[in-house]
C-alpha cells in the first residue's frame, strides 16, 4: 500500500476512534502509532517518545500553564463579581444594560485568562440569575453568555493564539497584535447588536430602574478597586509581550503572580483555594499538552507518508486559485471544529496547510487571524457547538435548547461579518504588527 493511501486513511481512522468515545489525545496517539508502524516497526515507541520530549522542551508552550493558572485564580478571587458590579453601576440604566455589562465583563475576563469555556461558565453563573430576574429574553441571555464565552478564543492572551503561533512558528507577540483589531471589531458588533435589539424591542432587555442614584464617589471607588487593577494586569501582560519587553512565558508568570496578589488584596486568598487552582491547572495543562503530543505525532506521520504532497495535489487539482484554496482550508477548519476541540483542529490542520500556502502569496498573520475567527465561529455554531453544552451545564431548565440555538445566531452573523472584514481588508490583521517589530 502506497504512502499517500496510508496518509489518506489516517483521518478516517482518527474519526473512527473519536466517534467510539476515545479521548481525542489518545485517538491521535493510537492512529499515529498504527500508521507509523509500517515505517518504523519496533522503533515506533522511540518516535512516540520523541514527540513527548519535543513538546516538553518547547519554551513557548511553557507559557500555557501560567495563563491557565491565571484563569483559575481569577475565578476564585472575587474579581468577576467586582467587575460585574462595577459595570452594572455604569451601564445598568442603558438599554440592555445588564447584557452590556455581561459582555463587558466577558471581554475583560477573556483578556485576563485565555481559557475557552472558563469565561463562559464564570460569567454565566453570575449574569444568568440577574438577567432572568429582570425578565430578559431567554434567547438574548443565551446568546450573550455563549458569545461572551467565545471571546476567550480571540482576545489575547488566548491560549489558542499561543498554540497556533507555536505550531506555525510565528511570533506570539505579533499574533497577539494581529488579533487585537478583529477582536475589538467583534466586541463592537456584539455590543451593537445588543443595543439595537434593546432599542427595537425594549421588552427583550428591560432597563434597570433604581429608586436612588448611586453616588459618583461610590461609582469611582468601585471602579478603582475592580476595573483598574484588572486593566493594569492586562496591560502588564499583553504590553510586555507585544512590545518585546518579556517573552510570553515571563509575562504569563508575571500575570500569575498578579492574580495571586489581587486575590490577597481582595481578602479571598486561602491555601486550599491556591492548591485547588494548582490542581486544576495541572489537569487542564496535562490535557492540552497530551493533545499537543498526539497532534504533533499525527501530523508528523502524515507528512512522512507524503500527506503534504497529497493535500497540495488535491488543492491544485481543484483549479480554484489561491483565494479558492484559502476558502477551502477555512471550510475544513470550520467542519473539523464540529467534531474536534480547538487544539486538535490547529495541530492537525495547520501543519498540513502551512506547506501549501507557503508557496502562495499569503500573509501568515492574516491567514492566522482568519483561521482563529473560524475556530471561534465553529465553537458557537449549532448543532455541535461546545458553547451551548457549557451553557446547558449552568443554565436553569427554563432556558431551553431552542432558546440557545435562537440566541447564538445573531452573534454567529457578527463573527462571520468580522471574518469577511478581515478577509477583504487584510490590514485589519497586519497593521498593528507592522508598527512593532519583534
Domains of the chain, residue spans:
3-435
**Quick check: 92 pLDDT over 80?**
no
pLDDT value at residue 232: 84
343-346, Cβ contacts within 8 angstroms, sequence gap of 24 or more:
343/163, 343/288, 343/291, 343/292, 343/295, 344/24, 344/28, 344/291, 344/294, 344/295, 345/375, 345/378, 346/160, 346/163, 346/164, 346/167, 346/295, 346/371, 346/375
Mean pLDDT of 111-123: 74
In our burial notation (b when 16+ CB lie closer than 10 A, e otherwise), range 300-331 reads: bbbbbbbbbebbbeebeeeeeeeeebbebbbe
Dihedral through CA 79, CA 109, CA 279, CA 391, nearest 10? 110
Task: Return d(Cα 419, Cα 211) in angstroms, integer.
Answer: 43
Cα distances (Å, whole numbers) of residue 277 to 79, 240, 289: 15, 25, 18
Task: Return d(Cα 331, Cα 419) in angstroms, integer.
Answer: 12
Q: How far apart are the first and last CA of the chain?
A: 46
pTM: 0.87
CA gyration radius, the chain = 22
**Quick check: 397 pLDDT over 80?**
yes
Contact 238, 162 (CB under 8 A): no
Contact 376, 422 (CB under 8 A): no
| Nearest of 166, 82, 151 to residue 111 by alpha carbon | 151
pLDDT value at residue 406: 93
**Quick check: 211 pLDDT over 50?**
no
The mean pLDDT of the chain is 84
Q: What is the distance, to the nearest Å, from the Cα of residue 94 to the centroid of all Cα atoms in its chain?
A: 29
Q: What is the distance, to the nearest Å, from the Cα of residue 6 to the centroid of all Cα atoms in its chain?
A: 32
Cα distances (Å, whole numbers) of residue 333 to 11, 191, 314, 329, 426: 14, 27, 16, 6, 19
Q: Classify the C-alpha dihedral 364-69-249-299 as positive or negative.
A: negative
Q: For 215-242, how does the pLDDT look when each residue is reduced to its tens digit (9 = 90+)?
A: 777 778 877 877 888 888 888 888 887 7
pLDDT band for position 288 (cuts 50, 70, 90): confident
Mean pLDDT of 31-52: 78
pLDDT value at residue 210: 57
pLDDT value at residue 417: 97
Contact 163, 172 (CB under 8 A): no
Contact 322, 361 (CB under 8 A): yes
Dihedral through CA 117, CA 295, CA 438, CA 180, nearest 10? -30
Task: Return d(Cα 27, Cα 12) in angstroms, integer.
Answer: 11
Cell 499515529 belongs to 32
Amino acid at each position: 500500500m502506497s504512502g499517500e493511501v496510508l496518509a489518506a486513511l489516517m483521518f478516517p481512522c482518527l474519526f473512527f476512534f473519536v466517534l467510539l468515545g476515545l479521548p481525542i489525545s489518545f485517538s491521535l496517539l493510537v492512529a499515529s502509532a498504527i500508521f507509523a508502524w509500517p515505517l518504523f516497526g519496533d522503533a515506533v515507541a522511540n518516535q512516540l517518545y520523541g514527540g513527548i520530549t519535543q513538546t516538553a522542551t518547547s519554551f513557548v508552550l511553557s507559557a500555557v500553564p501560567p495563563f491557565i493558572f491565571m484563569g483559575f485564580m481569577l475565578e476564585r478571587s472575587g474579581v468577576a463579581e467586582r467587575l460585574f458590579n462595577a459595570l452594572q453601576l455604569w451601564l445598568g440604566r442603558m438599554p440592555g444594560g445588564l447584557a452590556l455589562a455581561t459582555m463587558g465583563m466577558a471581554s475583560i475576563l477573556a483578556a485576563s485568562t485565555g481559557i475557552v469555556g472558563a469565561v463562559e461558565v464564570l460569567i454565566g453563573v453570575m449574569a444568568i440569575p440577574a438577567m432572568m430576574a429582570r425578565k430578559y429574553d431567554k434567547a438574548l441571555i443565551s446568546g450573550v453568555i455563549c458569545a461572551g464565552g467565545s471571546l476567550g478564543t480571540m482576545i489575547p492572551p488566548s491560549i489558542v493564539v499561543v498554540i497556533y503561533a507555536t505550531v506555525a512558528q510565528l511570533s506570539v507577540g505579533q499574533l497577539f497584535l494581529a488579533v487585537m483589531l478583529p477582536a475589538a471589531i467583534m466586541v463592537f458588533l456584539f455590543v451593537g447588536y445588543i443595543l439595537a435589539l434593546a432599542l427595537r424591542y425594549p421588552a427583550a432587555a428591560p432597563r434597570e430602574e433604581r429608586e436612588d442614584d448611586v453616588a459618583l464617589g461610590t461609582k469611582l471607588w468601585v471602579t478603582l478597586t475592580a476595573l483598574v487593577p484588572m486593566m493594569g494586569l492586562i496591560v502588564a501582560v499583553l504590553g510586555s509581550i507585544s512590545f518585546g519587553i518579556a517573552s510570553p512565558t515571563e509575562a504569563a508568570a508575571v500575570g500569575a503572580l498578579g492574580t495571586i496578589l489581587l486575590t490577597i488584596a481582595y481578602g479571598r486568598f486561602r491555601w486550599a483555594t491556591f492548591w485547588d487552582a494548582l490542581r486544576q491547572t495541572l489537569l487542564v495543562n496535562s490535557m492540552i499538552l497530551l493533545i499537543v503530543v498526539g497532534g504533533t505525532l499525527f501530523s508528523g506521520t502524515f507528512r512522512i507518508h507524503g500527506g503534504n504532497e497529497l493535500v497540495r495535489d488535491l488543492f491544485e487539482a481543484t483549479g480554484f486559485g489561491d483565494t479558492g484554496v484559502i476558502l477551502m482550508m477555512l471550510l475544513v477548519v470550520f467542519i473539523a471544529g464540529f467534531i474536534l476541540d480547538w487544539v486538535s483542529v490547529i495541530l492537525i490542520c495547520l501543519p498540513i496547510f502551512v506547506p501549501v500556502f507557503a508557496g502562495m502569496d499569503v500573509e501568515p498573520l492574516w491567514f492566522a487571524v482568519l483561521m482563529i475567527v473560524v475556530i471561534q465561529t465553529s465553537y458557537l455554531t449549532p448543532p455541535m457547538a461546545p458553547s451551548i453544552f457549557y451553557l446547558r451545564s449552568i443554565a436553569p431548565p427554563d432556558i431551553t435548547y431552542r432558546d440557545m440555538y435562537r440566541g447564538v445566531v445573531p452573534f454567529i452573523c457578527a463573527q462571520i461579518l468580522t471574518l469577511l472584514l478581515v478577509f477583504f481588508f487584510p490590514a485589519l490583521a497586519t497593521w498593528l504588527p507592522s508598527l512593532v517589530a519583534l
